[in-house]
Amino acid sequence: MANEQTAALNAIRPGRTNMPAVDHQLIIAVSVLLLFGLLMVYSASIALADGPRYASYGQYYFVVRHAVFLLLGVFVALMVANVPMDVWQRYAIPIFLISVLLLTLVLVPGIGREVNGARRWLPLGLINLQPSELMKVAIVLYAADYTVRKQQHIKSIWRGFAPMACMLGVVGMLLLLEPDLGAAIVILLIAMGILFVGGIKRSLFTGLITFLMFAFLMLIWLSPWRRERLFAYLDPWNPDNAYGSAYQLSHSLIAFGRGEWFGVGLGASIEKLHYLPEAHTDFIAAVVGEELGFVGLMFLIGLFCFIILRGFDIGRQAIASDRIFSGLVAQGVVIWFGLQAFINIGVCLGLLPTKGLTLPMVSYGGSGIVMNLAAVALLVRVDYENRRMMRGKRP
């Protein structure tokens, strides 16, 4: 009799038991993006060994390292996804403080590693840790937890807004001392996005945006090399700029122009042959545009759009079930991915001034790709707990 009732209940509500534990479409989209990135890193970096700078590295150095970091990132993601969101909320503040400490250690002579005049890495034997990448995950957790804790005062200047502004000021100052303006912008925008979704007063939000824009313009104006980059961005084809500060941008635009609709073919890029600097990291989208054309670039953007829309949907489901922290974390993750992808592709297309930011889950990187996968794992965990609640189980 009990079996008959169960069968009848399943017949009436088949989705209740047949619902998968996680969003398979999201995982497939992320996997396709990661594999696409691995392929493009291989294509963009294979010729680097022919130049004097990377002559001792070998043709497969970057793609092998990228694959290793992908595997490490998958391992980290599996660990992150197995931790309940209430545990992440409990440790949000300690994780944030550890990230601030690491950002401080980077600036200490003899500890932080300096490359091209910037101190952004902590050497850990075979790998280098970039604390700014860890801070992106930490700020998602911290801003979500802060918004939940300060929910009653989130519209207040002194009790809700000011403490968060002070913490962001400290983080921004440490990043600017490295210097890493790109990471500072992304981290500040992630926090602002979470505060906005969390219900910050619109006048405060508008005032914060105005202040940050003013501070950004002042940083550019007071820094000769940043000012030079801005003027070069406004006129990249000026001969003085094309062979100077706009060298990367001009060759990126040439790459897109060569690609036209369907590209010149996978592996057939000319610009990656030592014409376009950092083709496997900051300007990998230009190689995609040249080799796969407008269609390939739109495929790449389409994957990002799908992941971002699914992330916002997962966040809305969590907030609707009164799991505010989880919802804000999910939406914070896709705010991060969306903003950084927009800035990276915008720089490659000449829509934004040149800034050293990688394309999430696509560009070559160590700390970046691992932290990207950790953030995806947080998103998957929120979705998993949403689906458990839909089945009437504890998250």
- The residues spanned by each domain of the chain are 34-81+229-395, 83-222
pLDDT of residue 17: 54
Q: What is the pTM (predicted TM-score) of this model?
A: 0.91
Segment holding 215, helix H or strand E: helix 202-222
pLDDT of residue 55: 78
Residue 87, classed as helix, strand or coil, is helix
pLDDT of residue 12: 44
Residue 212 structure tokens: 């940050």
Contact 92, 145 (CB under 8 A): yes
> ∠ CA 285-196-27 to the nearest 5 degrees?
45
Amino acid at 272: K
Give the whole-angstrom CA distance, residue 161 versus residue 143.
11
pLDDT of residue 7: 53
Give the whole-angstrom CA distance, residue 73 versus residue 53.
28
pLDDT of residue 5: 52
- Listed as ranges, residues in the chain with pLDDT below 70 are 1-17, 117, 225, 395
Residue 91 structure tokens: 């440790």
pLDDT of residue 395: 67
Long-range contacts of 16-24 (CB under 8 A, 24+ apart): 16/390, 16/391, 17/391, 19/387, 19/390, 19/391, 20/387, 21/384, 21/387, 22/380, 22/383, 22/384, 22/387, 23/310, 23/314, 23/380, 23/383
> ∠ CA 19-21-26 to the nearest 5 degrees?
95
Give the whole-angstrom CA distance, residue 215 versus residue 224.
15
Place of tokens 């200047």: 157
pLDDT of residue 30: 97
Q: Note the pLDDT tens digit of each residue in 137-192.
A: 999 999 999 999 887 777 777 777 788 888 888 998 999 888 888 899 999 999 99
